[in-house]
Structure 1
Amino acid sequence: MNDAGRRHIGTAERRHRLALRQRLAGAARAGSPEEIADSLVALHGTDPAAVHLAVGARLADATKTVGETERALYEDGALVRMHGMRHTVFVFPTGLTAVVHASTGRTVAARERARLLKNMAAAGAPDAAWLTEVEESALAALARRGQATAAELARDEPRLKEQYVYAAGKSYEGVHTVSTQLLRVLGVEGKVVRGRPLGSWTSSQFRWAPAPDHPELDPGEAQAELLRRWLTACGPATEDDLKWWTGWRVTEVRRALTAIGAEAVSLDEGTGYVVSGDTGPVAGPAEPWAALLPALDPTAMGWQQRDWYLAPELRPMLFDRSGNVGPTVWWNGRVVGGWAQRADGEIVWRILDDEGLGREAESAIAAEAERLASWVGTARITPRFRTPLERELSA
């Protein structure tokens, strides 16, 4: 206990929790993509390949990664790719759609629609009534088709092809197409989601699909539920972690913490929070473990304060300038290096932090690289946001 009477959860125990609750230790691996998504709450979905790679790292039978993930996303509808926290695309369990939309989507959606109308008005484009007509027509066409690309929808609703100049006269002036901007807003509003892509599982050429039906929830209740789920998977976490991950104001974070009866604990960084009843000690996995996680993996990107699993001196090589993490190599709960795929398909990796590593660690990491290569097969993976080490290794 610390001076405030709170239990202290140190770095070693936080890594134990990460190994088990993030499904990374060998014995903690899951049997399906649905189980993984439910455990982690959300998988980063901006990079299509990253979703499959994140699942493959946690699936007991990695050979089923592509087929099972595509089944869950595009056949059974158990998972859905949609906008969520911080205006980022994630893959969620479909049952969480209403919670995500009410807790984070509505506020962002109102802002994004207002911005679109403002930009169109500044460019002399048609007004809000015109945009509403186009929107209703496009949604009707999407309902008829089931799923479609923006180009396919534009054949049904030609006004989607109209363009307008954004920020005329500015250094960042550009030409925007109505379809691109409108579908983006409809995604944030929870009216459309990303469907099956054209091409393979690594393709970023997505079709659009109608969003699954969901009830409209009270925002405060939805925020409490989302925070409860995330803290169960990722606790303990600080207020700064929670504010960063959700994109909420600090007042919203504190209100949700109170609503779920979160318990305060002591961390090396200060005060942290866990869900009620989760202050007890957590033993680590029975066996040491290694993992190769993809760019934008939800574990690597899960917390704003990362020193307990990622040494600050490693960040320049593993992150891009916008703060997106690249492919990482893990050993027993901490990042020790990075990996990449070369043009011939070889998975290569490099240790950047060898403190405490020995022959066992190197053998385990090499085995994970072979495991990854075995199910990736002939696919070629280039992260959407490239980092210095990934570029160097892939070359």
Structure 2
Amino acid sequence: MAEGRRYVDVVERRARLAVRHRLAGAARAVTPEEVAASLVALHGSDPATVHLAVAARLTDPARAVPETERALYEDRTLVRMHGMRHTVFVFPADLTAVVHASTGLAVAARERASLLRDMALAGAPDAAWLAEVEEATLAALARRGQATAAELAADEPRLRERFVHAAGKSYEGVHTVSTRLLRVLGVEGKVVRGRPLGSWTSSQFRWAPAPPHPELDVAGAQATLLRHWLRACGPATEADLKWWTGWTLREVRRALAAIGAEEVLLDEGTGYVGAGDAEPVTGPGAPWAALLPALDPTAMAWQRRDWYLDPVLRPLLFDRSGNVGPTVWWNGRVVGGWAQRADGEIVWRIPEEGVRREAAAEVAAEAERLRGRLGATRITPRFRTPLERELTA
């Protein structure tokens, strides 16, 4: 062991995960806001993930859907917006300015430049024209409060303009100004996704004006975000931090220094926790099981996952792009996967026989609770994985 660094073993890391990610029974939360604050961010690429991730962590999971919709669309205490790695997440409202400054600004600059470049190559109107359309679009959205792209195009017809992207290449396609511009405005923090057109599983969203927030210093915002994330997910390696944030290694190291992060020793090398957080963490005590949805923030929180995910399971539980499917957890590690069949039945598989025998009763109980929560709702992950497909075949 390196001098001055405490060794944090796999058992303790799993104990931290169980308690801080509110997965063990005694650690569960009362509100979606508490869940989001504990995790920093909920993956929002698949709309169902947000509600199912909250439900798995609430003392009363039956309240997950109405309470999450309240937080997202009525109280606006949670906000769905672009964040790390150009991905859509749901964040606590008080972190939106931090996320925008720490991760959004650089992505936004690239997105706007890409749109202008693609339009120029296609012979579409110039930046001045686009600026006019943008101003009119934001004004229309402010008048409506929330609107679909089609509704905004009724107010600003130039949003319907089309241009060819990547002409002559294998991925050539026709883009509308509305699709690309609203995406740019999203990563620039000017608009956010509002209430979906259908149920809570719908991926068709209205757009809404972004809540006002102060413009923060980039380095300060990065330090703040990292402090929150290490509290939720530390210890973590530099590779984990770089992957999760999408920052450069230089930015990661600058933020670690700014918050006075402490080094610990992990099986894979040097890890980091927040200042004052290097002391041992007591586990939940009782065994626990959880059925987490595809893209759950716990399963996707770290780049290096061997301490909670057997590499043998990776080909079954991840798609080719690295998106995780529905997972079965037992005492702080992924042990299998689950799926919902067309008749609503929740089916699961744990390949390792010894673990299957040990965890069967708890996992079966969680599956039954999940079926009860879903009722007549049917869930198909946006990114299908081999085991999920096999279980539903």
Q: TM-score, normalised by structure 1?
A: 0.99
> 1:248 matched to which residue of 2?
247
Measured after TM superposition, the shift of residue 375 of structure 1 is 1.2
> 1:368 matched to which residue of 2?
366
Contact 1:336 1:354 in 2 (8 A): no
* One-letter code aligned to 1:386: R
CA distance in 2, matches of 1:242, 1:72: 28
Measured after TM superposition, the shift of residue 330 of structure 1 is 0.3
Measured after TM superposition, the shift of residue 353 of structure 1 is 3.0
* One-letter code aligned to 1:376: L
* One-letter code aligned to 2:258: A
> 1:311 matched to which residue of 2?
310
Q: 1:356 to 1:387 in 2, by over 3 A?
A: closer
CA distance in 2, matches of 1:277, 1:389: 41
Measured after TM superposition, the shift of residue 215 of structure 1 is 0.2
Measured after TM superposition, the shift of residue 358 of structure 1 is 2.9
Range with greater deviation from structure 2 (291-300 or 279-288): 279-288
Measured after TM superposition, the shift of residue 356 of structure 1 is 4.1
1:340 corresponds to 2:339: yes
Partner SS, residue 92 of structure 1:
strand
Measured after TM superposition, the shift of residue 3 of structure 1 is 2.8
Aligned length: 393
Contact 2:102 2:225 in 1 (8 A): yes
Contact 2:238 2:249 in 1 (8 A): yes
> 2:352 matched to which residue of 1?
353
1:232-257 deviations in Å (ceiling 9; x for gaps): 00000000000000000000000000
Partner SS, residue 252 of structure 2:
helix
Measured after TM superposition, the shift of residue 377 of structure 1 is 1.0
> 1:298 matched to which residue of 2?
297
CA distance in 2, matches of 1:74, 1:92: 13
1:321-351 deviations in Å (ceiling 9; x for gaps): 0000000000000000000011111111111
Matches within 5 A, 1:167-246: 167-246=166-245
* One-letter code aligned to 1:246: T
CA distance in 1, matches of 2:351, 2:80: 33
CA distance in 1, matches of 2:351, 2:189: 41
CA distance in 2, matches of 1:352, 1:59: 28
> 1:385 matched to which residue of 2?
383
Q: 1:387 to 1:352 in 2, by over 3 A?
A: same
Measured after TM superposition, the shift of residue 282 of structure 1 is 1.1
Contact 2:235 2:271 in 1 (8 A): yes
Range with greater deviation from structure 2 (294-303 or 372-381): 372-381
Measured after TM superposition, the shift of residue 300 of structure 1 is 0.1
Matches within 5 A, 1:54-203: 54-203=53-202
Measured after TM superposition, the shift of residue 284 of structure 1 is 1.1
CA distance in 1, matches of 2:354, 2:162: 55
Partner SS, residue 36 of structure 1:
helix
Measured after TM superposition, the shift of residue 5 of structure 1 is 2.5
Partner SS, residue 358 of structure 1:
helix
Measured after TM superposition, the shift of residue 352 of structure 1 is 2.2
The unaligned stretches of length 5 or more in structure 1 are none
The unaligned stretches of length 5 or more in structure 2 are none
> 1:43 matched to which residue of 2?
42
Contact 1:320 1:387 in 2 (8 A): yes
Contact 2:350 2:356 in 1 (8 A): no
Measured after TM superposition, the shift of residue 394 of structure 1 is 1.4
RMSD: 0.7
Measured after TM superposition, the shift of residue 283 of structure 1 is 1.6
CA distance in 2, matches of 1:298, 1:132: 36
CA distance in 2, matches of 1:186, 1:96: 18
